[in-house]
Structure 1
């Protein structure tokens, strides 16, 4: 095939709640992402614009801060149809064919909603074709293509009952395998959908395929067939024992103080070990799915003309300070994954990993990757990365944090 001049294709893969400092450890089995990190840009000090799904995801699409969007925590929120969108720019300014499969969380996931009703909004935001699903907990409430498959297979009510039992009395750390068959587990099912759409990508115009995996967001429910793929996992960062240090880090009325009130005594030791093990296995599962997509892309005649990015919207505390989930300014909640591999073969790593090096903003990294794909002659991803603002603003609820 004759190489097409101009913009590159872009395979954009995002995951939900993958903390950015869980990638290179020897006790993790992540061969595909670790290889990609050595073949492209590995932005190890990448930080979300907000450590919760809705504000982080609205920000990465629009390029605006959560404060500018008016949503700094999870809330009943819809991204405005006329908001900025790098996807719309790719489609309207550069002729990209734009496809999305998976979770977006750009609209409310309330009971009774059918995500297919979002299609007009998705077109306004720049997508030509969308197959949207929700996150694992919202899938018990909304309707979409995946829940249709669950209804047909007769597993919908079992899934709802399992979630209800897992989260009763505010518990979030229950660990046990999913009640779903492997073929209908959200991340595994989505890989098949993504492969279908990848096979349909055009050869005569640039394309964006955005694959939004809903994992490794809790519940901690990796299928039995995917368990046991990690080494000994170290203990999480302990809560400060010094009362004055704790007061400085989590003053009364702060979001972190409120989180500490939810788990005043931390988490049971056996639960910590089990959930961190489940999370590591979920990362292994996702790495395998990403590897499947990368192989399928490489088999395409335009594979060498395709850039690949992998990112997460925010992190997960996983027992740091005896806490779970996100929604605070601790490192595990704010730190995001961001890898970018330019088109073509790369024979040397381009890492940004110095422990005391400057931070980078997730939203800006995503927009810089889009710019590098569309205008490579005006600056590579690395060129743009070095010119980012040296400060990163993180917002949550009424609090802000500036990282330098």
Structure 2
């Protein structure tokens, strides 16, 4: 029985999964684990195991059934109306169907031109600054923030009202009181926004939804989920992806030589970085997985970095290889809860990363790797700041 899920990254190797996960996976892809609150559940580290659990309706995403694998994590409350990521079928399907049409591959590709415009605006600002700059503050954070704001119909200048609260909600050491206050502040702003859309709809996703049969509470909670997902994960994929490429010059050279490699490169970065460290599911009934019986009520933590670095699925998994077909990675989840905004994230990364290196051919780190602070204290992994320069 393992006491905790490994979380410490190996020294000097910020892109590798936490130490100990590979050994656990080699020993058995589904192992027993004691959770911080004393619950005796499971830890899944094998790719096939993680995929099987995420695709199995016997395993629930309902928060009131889950034990969390992090200190201070306890059973959550039942999801509020609209919080579809914490619901099972059929409730989950009702919300998902309303939103799927807003995030089709075709629609997201139509947004590519707007992504290019916003990308160029931020690159222009970086060029005027002259550097060095913090790539997170100058580029990686504002680009997806502006895109999700425009998609939802949130005035971009209002982002200060929710960005700080969203960041505080991502801290692993946040107290229940801090989480509650931040959550309430964001929901309060979104309630004002929903009321404004009802009285004067505009051309955006939230205005489209007000014409449905969704209640104000449902609209506010859906907007919260989309806003939260559109801010933190893409921002950290962008910043940490650039850091990884700067740390692997041969891979960066391959991308520079063939801009058409961008789509495959982004999939490999999703796999290699795995910025979402885990998902959690709870068995609704006894289920046989990997020769083990997971009893009803037992929680299974699914390690996405371990699954994405499983040599049974990917050859040389700890190597960044932009030519690799990374099909089947778990970086965006799997099953009915697979990331709704994945196509938007793909478009943003496929446009922004090549554009950055094209504008600044001499882009380099402006700090020693050991001085770059990684987000080991946050729910989503990444970098707190990434100092870069491009002039001699």
TM-score of the aligned structures, taking structure 2 as reference length = 0.27
Asked which structure has the greater RCO (Cα within 8 Å, sep 6+), the reply is 1
Higher fraction of strand? 1
Q: Higher helix proportion, which one?
A: 2
**Length-normalised TM-score, structure 1:** 0.26
